[in-house]
Structure formats: structure tokens, C-alpha cells
Structure 1
Amino acid sequence: MSYIKVGQDTNGQDIRLHYTDQGQGSPVVLIHGWPASYEMWEYQLAELPKHGNRVIAYTRRGFGQSTKTWEGHDYDTLADDLKAVLDELDLQDVTLVGFSMGGGEVARYMSRHGGARVGRVAFVAAVTPFLLQTDDNPDGAPKATFDKMVEGIRKDRFDFLATFGKQFFGVGTLSHPVSQATLDWMQAMCQIASPRATEQDVYAFAATDFRQDLKTIQVPTLVIHGSSDETVPLKVSGGRMKQFVPHAQYLEYDGAPHGLFVTEKDRLNQDLLAFIGVQGAAGTAPRGY
């Protein structure tokens, strides 16, 4: 397995991030969502490298096969980890693709590190611009919503993940957009995260305000969000992104749930390829361009 060292913890132990590096050509870095690992990009890792792209996906600290740290579950640290990945692999003119929580890393990296090495950015079902309800963000979710999530994690993390997975993919009594096998795959991926990271990152993506970070973005930007996303609702996230990144290209996937990297995998791959500058199999540009 391949790892990148991004620093040391307070006990002097190395912190290493698990990653995969596939294909050759234009560099694309995929940043996963909570509480998964880079393996969630199964269908993107299988397709994007076929079209002249070098695709790197890594797992943030605390999740998957990366080092399980006690501290460092804040976006400044996570943006610094992303910088370490880009620097170690000496990537230039990168396309950053952040899904859900990963969109926060993209936003914070662009402001904290001046967008170094980055040529374009994509926010897919991302938590940006700001999820928490405050006096100046009245449409956000109440703190109690996130407290309830943490309470569920502490009570029975595995049962929480099972319920969360169904909402994540839009599974209901009459709706089955993914198989039970896919739900099991996602459950297994998420449950190997450390309980500490699983809990602390809820507060990170809930309470971090990315509005000023987003205003620093000058590179081409793509925003993709599902209209039926119940995990990160459109109206408080993707639907507001153009307020802060006016030049962003916005694509709304009608009826898509949060886990659109699986449920809408073919369309997502095509839209990402067109944004990167590579025509997909059908040779069409994404709607909204």
C-alpha cells in the first residue's frame, strides 16, 4: 500500500495518509466524504484514468487505512494535509474534486494556501458554504441536528452508519437506487474509521464557515449537487455556491441523492471529464455549460 507522510502527532508518531495513484496525464485529486475513505471513488477511479488523466485519491487522517490520530480533525489541519499530498507528488495544474466534507478541504486549501498548484476545482454534493444555523446564516441546520448525529455515533456507531447509509443513497420503502451489496460495501468502508475522527469531523464540517474561503477562488469552478440530497440539502449548500463563487458552473442532478458518485456515476464521470477538458465516451459537454 502507498502512503504519504504529512507530519507527526503529539507523541512523535508519523501521520501517514493512504492513497492511490493511477493513470498518466492531467492530475486529478479526489477528496472523499465523511465517514468513508478514498475507496468510495470506485467508479471514478475506474473511468477517469482512461481519458488521459493521472488520478490520485487519498484518505484523510482518522479514516480508512490512514493513521488514526486523536487530534487534527479541523479544516486548517486537513488543508495542510492536502498541501502535503500535492507537494510530495509534485503535482501542477491540478483539478481538485471534493465530495461532501471533501469540498471543505478544497475551499480551505484555496484560501489558506493561495490555490498553489491548482488549475480548477469541483465541489460535488459539498458541505460548502456553511451548514450551521447562526444569526447570519439562518437557513443552516440547528446545532441540535449535529448533536443528535454525535449522540447516535456514541450510542451505537454501527447502527448509526447503517441508517445513515440508507439516507445517503436515498433508499426508502419504495426507492432502491442501490443494491444491498452497495450498502454493505459502504458500511464496511465507514466502520473502520476511528470513532474519534467520526465524531470530531461532524463538528468540523458542521461548524466551519467557508464563505470567505470561497470568495478567494479565481480558477474555473464546477458545482454539482443532487436535488434530492437529504444528507447535505441543496438549499443550504450547492444551491448557494454561486453567491460566493459567481463564476462557478452549476449542475443540478434532478432527483439525485447525496451518494451520486454511485447512483449517477456515469453522468458524474462525464461531467468531470468535460470540466477537466477531456471529452467523455459520448463526446458531450455537461448541461449548464
Structure 2
Amino acid sequence: MPYLTLKDGLNLFYKDWGNATGQPVVFSHGWPLNADAWENQMFFLGDRGYRVIAHDRRGHGRSDQSWARNDINTWADDLHELMAHLNIKDATLVGHSTGGGEITRYTGRHGTSWVKKLVLISSITPLMLQTPVSPHGVPMSVFDSQRAAMREDRSAFFYEVPKGPFFGFNRPNATVSEGLIQNWFNQGMQASFKSTYDTIRSWETDFRQELKDLNIPVLVIHGDDDQVVPFAAGGNETIKLLKKGKMRVYHGGPHGLPSIEVDRINTDLLQFLEER
């Protein structure tokens, strides 16, 4: 399995699939998952001639578990090291949830000279935390309760999240997939306690200026029934800050769109990639 040894000595796992000379698409996963969360999209695009890359964020999946530096700036720098290592140019970066924050911070710290387009799916941008400038955001008390739930019984918490709000399986008449629930749980428990606990702090990050500064095309995809990152605070506000933004609202869509709306996400991604 391919690993990159980062400058600080940590080993980062990644997948590099598809056409080695194809247009590169780089995926950043959500919390507390890993690169496996993107398999439907990677298979779809790889089968159509794209080069598709996804990594396990430090502390997650098969990457080394770090005690410190589990923060948005470090993740952006890790991604930059990976792209440099693989000599990736003119890439489209695709981020889900926390991964959307990661790729946005990447552009703020490393610019867009290596990046052609961005796709933000159910992203934590522009400011997930409820504040006077983000009144529709998530109260700090919710983040505190999630930290408390992890300290009390992480395994129970990591079962309830996919069983309920993440995929919208707590909604009436939802078609529940026990396989998706188990897969989410397995990925979450493979990640380190410390990394997943520290990640919650990243949801307090303000990405507004980075979004305003972007001068490349950005596709924003968000479900209007997202119970994790509310649409009113997420996609609805993100699109307002972008110079070259395009919005896709998935009516009734939950947070875990890449797994619940596989065909639609794949179609929207392909269409956006093919646009000149």
C-alpha cells in the first residue's frame, strides 16, 4: 500500500487510482472517516479516464496516529506535501464536510497555482459554529456534547451518528442501510480517539476570507435536510462568498450525500469536471 512519509515523520496513506496520465481529482474525506468513503466516486471517475487520489487524514484509517497537530492548518499542509509528492497539477479538489474545510484552507495557505477547481459537498464552510455572523450555525453546546459523548463511550456515539443524522436514517420513511451504518462505524473506530476528538475543534474555523479570495470555479453541493452542517449555515452562505460559485441543492438530502446520493453526486461531479 502506498504511503508518504511527511516532513514531521508521520506516514500518510493514500490511494492513487485510474489513469495515471488523466486529469487529477483529489478527494478529502469527512469526519471520522477515511479514503474508503470516496470509493463510489473514485471508481466512477477512474473508470472514465480520470486520475483519482484520496488519502487517510493523519490519525485516520491507515495513516499514522498523531497525538498533536490534529488541526486544519496541518491537514492542509499534509495535502500540499502529498500533491507535491505525486506531482499533481491542475487538480480538482473535492471535499466532504471537514474535508471541505481542509481543501478551502489549502487554497488559503498554498494558493491555487496547482488547483483548477474546487467541489465542496456538505462542507463546514464558511463558519459552522453559531456566532453573531453565523446565526444559523451549530451552537458550541452541541460540539461540547459531542466531545462529552466521545469521552463517555466513543463506540456508542460512533454507532448513533450514522444510525441517525449523518445519513438521515432517523427521518420517517428513510431506507436504512445497515451496511452503510457498519461501514461508517468501522472507519470511525479505525481512527484514533485523539485525532477524532481534536477534529471537533476544526468545526469552529472561519473560512469566509478564503472563500472570498478564491478566483477559480467552485461547485457547492449541500442537502437542505443536512442535520450535521445546516444548509442555512453551510452551502447557503458559502455560495454567497464565491466569485465563481455554482450551487446544487439536494432537496431532502442528508449530510452523507456521497453515499446516499451516489449517482447524482457522480453525475454532478463529472459534469463540473467536463466544463471548460
TM range (shorter): over 0.9
The aligned runs of 1:15-30 (5 Å cut-off) are: 15-24=10-19, 25-30=22-27
SS in structure 2 of the partner of residue 44 of structure 1: helix
How far apart in 1 are the matches of 2:6 and 2:176?
A: 35
Q: Hey, what's the Cα distance between the residues in 2 that align with 1:76 and 1:174?
A: 39
Residue 35 of structure 1 is matched in structure 2 by 32
Match of 1:134 among 122, 131, 135: 131
Q: Distance in 2 between matches of 1:90 and 1:175?
A: 47
Aligned match of 2:207: 210
| Residue 173 to residue 115, structure 1, CA distance change in 2 (3 Å) | closer
Residue in 1 aligned with 2:44? 47
Assess, with a 3 A threshold, how the Cα gap between structure 1 residues 259 and 83 changes in structure 2: closer, same or farther: same
The runs of 5 or more residues in structure 1 that have no matched partner are 9-13, 279-289
8 A Cα contact 1:121 1:221, kept in partner: yes
Alpha-carbon shift at residue 173 of structure 1 (Å): 6.3
> Number of aligned pairs?
272
AA partner of residue 20 (structure 1): K
CA distance in 2, matches of 1:71, 1:175: 42
Partner of 1:179: 177
Q: In structure 2, the residue corresponding to 1:51 is in which secondary structure?
A: coil
Q: Counterpart in 2 of 1:255?
A: 252
Cross-structure match for 2:186: 188
Cα distance, 1:30 vs structure 2: 0.6
- Contact 1:37 1:59 (8 Å CA) reproduced: yes
- Distance in 2 between the 1:172 and 1:92 partners? 41
Counterpart contact for 1:7–1:16, Cα < 8 Å: no
Q: Which runs of 4+ in 1 moved over 3 A?
A: 173-178
CA distance in 1, matches of 2:121, 2:149: 26
Which digits, 9 at most, give the CA deviation of each residue in 1:43-67, with x for residues without a partner? 1122111112000011110111111
Deviations 1:167-204 (A, max 9, x none): 10111263333411221111111111100011100011
Judged with a 3 Å threshold, the aligned counterparts in structure 2 of structure 1 residues 104 and 173 are, in CA distance, closer, same or farther, namely: closer
Q: Distance in 2 between matches of 1:136 and 1:270?
A: 34
TM-score, length-scaled by structure 2:
0.95
Separation in 2, partners of 1:88, 1:175? 46
Cα distance per residue 1:243-275 (max 9 Å; x no partner): 211420000011111111111000100110111
Counterpart in 2 of 1:286? none
Q: 3-state DSSP class of the match of 1:4?
A: strand
AA of the residue aligned to 1:185: N
Task: State, as a whole percentage, how many aligned pairs show the same letter.
Answer: 39
CA spacing shift, 1:173–1:112, aligned 2, 3 Å: closer
Task: Provide the rounded CA distance (Å) in 1 between the counterparts of 2:171 and 2:140.
Answer: 29
How do 1:128-277 residues align onto structure 2 when only pairs under 5 Å count? Answer: 128-166=125-163, 167-172=165-170, 174-204=172-202, 206-277=203-274
Q: Do the aligned partners of 2:138 and 2:229 also contact (CA within 8 Å) in 1?
A: no
For 2:55, give the aligned amino acid: Y
